[in-house]
Amino acid sequence: MSANKETFGSGSLRGVASFRAGLVDHRLERRHLINEYHRGRLGREEVCDAHPELMRAARGIGKRIQTKCPICDVSELSLVTYVFGPRLQSHGKVVVDNKELAEFHRRPEEYTAYVVEACCACKWHHLVRVLPIGGQRPDRKVG
């Protein structure tokens, strides 16, 4: 083996300004948590503890989806999207609709969007996915 062997590791990315995290999907973690609840290893109070602000956003501007709550099986879930990044409040910005999300995506600053599902009946909530948005450079065409 050569002493100059190049490897790909975390140090390989130093100085690379364009490196950016990608989509992170939390479906496996969600499935595990639901299974643990149904097996009796987690109590309802441990999984149905959404913050009042999340519940308010879910009721007021959350996007209803055709999926029943995996805990209470009564109510349909709502998706709430929070955006964090430059010049936003420390608790983020709740995105009202896809048009507003697209506006963030067209900005040159890089943001991170967190999509959370919530049940307004039992207060179940779970982070569904995290995705980068924005960071559009004027010289880059989006197609």
Task: Look at residue 58 and tell me whether its pLDDT is greater than 50.
Answer: yes
Domain ranges of the chain: 22-134
Sign of the C-alpha dihedral computed for residues 57, 58, 60 and 61 taken in this order: positive
Alpha helices in the chain (DSSP H): 27-38, 44-47, 52-60, 98-106
End-to-end distance of the chain based on CA atoms, in angstroms?
Answer: 44
Q: Which long-range contacts (CB under 8 A, 24 or more apart) does 55-60 make?
A: 55/118, 55/120, 55/123, 57/94, 57/118, 58/118, 58/119, 58/120, 59/120
**pLDDT tier at 91 (50, 70, 90 boundaries)?**
confident
pTM of the model: 0.79
Among 1-10, 49-58, 82-91, 111-120, name the one with the lowest average pLDDT. Answer: 1-10
Task: Look at residue 12 and tell me whether its pLDDT is greater than 90.
Answer: no
What does the alpha-carbon distance between residue 135 and residue 118 come to, in Å, rounded to a whole number?
Answer: 28
Element (H, E) at 80: strand 76-84
Q: What is the mean pLDDT of residues 62-84?
A: 96
Task: Look at residue 17 and tell me whether its pLDDT is greater than 50.
Answer: no
